[in-house]
Amino acid sequence: MSTEESPVEHEDRWVLNLRAMSVTKITVDFRLVLALDSDWEVALEAPVDLSHGTARANPSVLLNPESQDVAGALALFGANVLSAVAFKSGTLRLVFDTGHHLTCSSDPSFEAWQVTGPRGWRFASLPGGDLAVWTGSGTSES
């Protein structure tokens, strides 16, 4: 998908325009941060479910950014995004060409994750399970 395309809003989710972007950098502090092509960034603060293939064949791994227990995320370096969806319930789901699926649910007390991009785009999971969206024009929606 072209980086010129804007994220698309649906009734229950936003489809982000990250398709074919690759993970170019992974950093860890109290967050797990995936830097993507075209100045997009995925910052995860809550525990993240990382799965590969089917649940029966490969149980998922829980990544915990707060304790820097995120070694499983190294498998995402260089991976290309196939799908990126920010649900209005506050959950983020990324699917990669490596067969990995990354899911970060909302947290009752703090922002679990945020996705930022060029031209002012920002998506954030709000405490308690909601989604805040700042569009390229600077307006906030939820």
Q: Which residues of the chain have pLDDT under 50?
A: 1-3
pLDDT at 141: 60
pTM as predicted: 0.90
Place of tokens 């990669």: 96
- Are residues 82 and 136 in contact, defined by beta-carbon separation less than 8 angstroms? no
Indicate the Cα dihedral angle 66, 64, 127, 92, nearest 10°: 140
- The per-residue pLDDT for 87 is 98
Q: Are strands 41-44 and 32-36 parallel, antiparallel or unpaired?
A: antiparallel
So what's the pLDDT on residue 1? 36
pLDDT value of residue 59: 80
pLDDT number for residue 139: 56
Write down the mean pLDDT value for the chain: 91
